[in-house]
């Protein structure tokens, strides 16, 4: 027998404020429900005990249901099948449950605490799956099905209720339908949609906290600011001197003339002194300070979170005065630490750079931006990784501007080889991994910077002469 009731999700607690109002709280939020009248208390008791039917839903309770304070529990004779929680009013253009349906490709099923949860980043709805029968239904919906094809999987009333509900919260879509046909859906990878939805605030956010948090920081303090590789050979680097004339270009011209320059001057490559000055200007540690027992550093570029989790690594292929190899830039000491004099390794970074630029001649230097996740993630829930990517973008622009001012050839690279980075450093990718790459070298003496697009379309080639 089908039963549908409204109940409080497990994490929601009912209490009273100091002024006597009834209030709901979850791990992140508080919501005053109203004065403690006998009528309200009796309705809340009915909800707490599963006796509140959705058929008598008032606008107030519908509002609480649509913001995740209440969940809809669907039961059959065998017990609870599924508990659905929504965080936004029903979307206007949901699927027609009488037409062919399939599971949305943006849905994920994952373990959360003790439960198996189905969720859709497109609509912000979640469902705790309590019954293998519901899983069996979802399995069938991996391909497009007409509702009548699903008869017999579950009792008719239960089946039709689940199809209606799942369609209403975006778990099911019509197939063929918008997900296969419209560019607004097709352009999104499922992980991109999930990442976007879960790392931002907004009406479709789940109740999990997104923002600075002490949740893990109390148990796992951030990593130290200083990062160095014990035993690595140290290569001292030049610093800019007061007599240097290479940064005399007006800032307006630096901004106006900055371009991505993919072709470099192989005969007269960048020198180790130039590289040293470039790294100093972009990324050296100017000073340090301590806050809540943690060391922080000041560097030339801003950093979301302030932890300066990004480290620079140098894959040097053709640098005058520097042995080809893979190096860590120690920003505190302003020196390089050599991690491998392996041409094979350098070749891996070079070939990834060639793939990104679609050019045959690799850059003289590939600068790898790697994030030490423990410097940021423990203190930022939900948005830590997004912040790291923004921080990488900020440093990338700093490198572009310094390269322009110094007359070097810079080009950001759209992707890189995380396995090569793990091999080069021997560090677990969960602790530290590459998140961005940047090509650097000497500027060709003649010719204008090339005009190629950010990432060339499949099959397209940038012209080798840089035009």
Ligand X SMILES: Cc1cc2nc3c(=O)[nH]c(=O)nc-3n(C[C@H](O)[C@H](O)[C@H](O)COP(=O)(O)O)c2cc1C
Contacts with ligand X, residue ranges (CB under 6 A): 259-260, 262, 356-357, 396, 411-414, 452-455
Tokens coding 345: 């390794």
CB of 389 to ligand X, least distance (A): 9
Give residue for tokens 């014990």: 230
CB of 368 to ligand X, least distance (A): 14
CB of 358 to ligand X, least distance (A): 7
Output the CA angle 7-13-15, nearest 5 degrees.
115
Instruction: Say how many Å lie between the first and final Cα of the chain, rounded.
Output: 72
| Other residues' Cβ atoms within 10 Å of the Cβ of residue 237 | 22
Among residues 210 and 366, whose Cβ is nearest to ligand X?
366
DSSP 34-48: EE--HHHHHHHHHHH
Among residues 22 and 403, whose Cβ is nearest to ligand X?
403
Among residues 104 and 264, whose Cβ is nearest to ligand X?
264
Among residues 96 and 465, whose Cβ is nearest to ligand X?
465
CB of 260 to ligand X, least distance (A): 3
3-state percent breakdown (helix, strand, coil) of the chain, nearest 5: 30, 25, 45
Among residues 356 and 367, whose Cβ is nearest to ligand X?
356
Among residues 176 and 414, whose Cβ is nearest to ligand X?
414
CB of 300 to ligand X, least distance (A): 18
CB of 283 to ligand X, least distance (A): 17
Among residues 161 and 437, whose Cβ is nearest to ligand X?
437
For ligand X, which residue has the nearest CB?
Answer: 414
DSSP 216-255: TTTTSPPPPS----TTPEEEE-----TT--TT-S-HHHHH
Going from the C-alpha of 59 to that of each of 14, 35, 89, 207, the distances in angstroms are: 20, 17, 12, 21
Among residues 126 and 396, whose Cβ is nearest to ligand X?
396
The Cα 38–Cα 125 span in angstroms is 32
CB of 394 to ligand X, least distance (A): 11
CB of 451 to ligand X, least distance (A): 7
Query: Is 278:440 a contact under the CB 8 Å cutoff?
Result: yes
Query: Is 366:437 a contact under the CB 8 Å cutoff?
Result: yes
What is the phi/psi pair of residue 417, to 5°? -100, 100
Helix or strand holding residue 4 (H, E): strand 3-7
* β-pair type (294-298, 380-381): unpaired
């Amino acid at each position: 027998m089908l039963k549908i009731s409204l109940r409080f999700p497990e994490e929601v607690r009912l209490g009273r404020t100091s002024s006597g109002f009834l209030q709901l709280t979850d791990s992140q939020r508080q919501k005053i429900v109203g004065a403690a009248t006998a009528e309200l208390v009796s309705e809340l008791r009915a909800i707490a005990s599963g006796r509140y039917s959705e058929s008598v839903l008032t606008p107030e309770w519908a509002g609480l249901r649509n913001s995740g304070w209440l969940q809809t529990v669907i039961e059959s004779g065998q017990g609870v099948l599924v508990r659905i929680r929504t965080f936004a009013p029903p979307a206007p253009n949901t699927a027609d449950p009488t037409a062919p349906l399939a599971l949305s490709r943006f849905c994920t099923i994952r373990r959360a605490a003790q439960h198996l949860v189905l969720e859709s980043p497109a609509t912000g709805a979640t469902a705790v799956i309590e019954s293998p029968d519901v899983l069996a239904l979802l399995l069938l919906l991996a391909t497009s099905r007409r509702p009548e094809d699903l008869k017999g999987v579950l009792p008719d009333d239960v089946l039709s209720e689940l199809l209606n509900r799942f369609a209403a919260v975006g778990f099911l879509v019509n197939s063929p339908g918008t997900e296969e046909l419209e560019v607004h859906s097709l352009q999104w990878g499922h992980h991109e949609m999930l990442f976007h939805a879960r790392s931002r605030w907004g009406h479709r956010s789940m109740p999990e906290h997104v923002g600075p948090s002490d949740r893990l920081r109390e148990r796992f303090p951030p990593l130290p600011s200083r990062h160095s590789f014990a035993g690595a050979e140290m290569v001292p680097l030049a610093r800019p001197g007061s007599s240097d004339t290479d940064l005399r270009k007006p800032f307006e011209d630096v901004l106006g003339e900055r371009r991505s320059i993919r072709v470099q001057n192989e005969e007269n490559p960048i020198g180790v002194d130039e590289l040293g000055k470039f790294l100093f200007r972009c990324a050296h540690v100017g000073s340090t300070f301590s806050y809540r027992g943690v060391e922080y550093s000041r560097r030339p570029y801003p950093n979301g979170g302030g932890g300066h989790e990004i480290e620079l690594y140098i894959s040097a292929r053709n640098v005058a005065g520097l042995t080809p190899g893979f190096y860590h830039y120690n920003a505190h000491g302003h020196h390089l630490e050599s991690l491998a004099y392996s041409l094979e390794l350098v070749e891996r970074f070079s070939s990834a750079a060639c793939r990104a630029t679609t050019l045959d001649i690799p850059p003289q230097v590939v600068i790898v931006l790697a994030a030490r996740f423990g410097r940021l993630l423990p203190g930022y829930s939900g948005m830590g990784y997004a912040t790291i990517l923004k921080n990488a973008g900020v440093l990338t622009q700093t490198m572009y501007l310094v390269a322009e001012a110094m007359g070097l050839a810079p080009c950001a690279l759209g992707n890189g080889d995380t396995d090569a980075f793990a091999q080069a450093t021997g560090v677990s990718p969960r602790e530290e991994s590459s998140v961005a790459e940047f090509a650097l070298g000497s500027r060709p003496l003649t010719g204008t910077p090339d005009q190629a697009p950010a990432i060339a379309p499949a099959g397209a080639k940038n012209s080798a002469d840089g035009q």
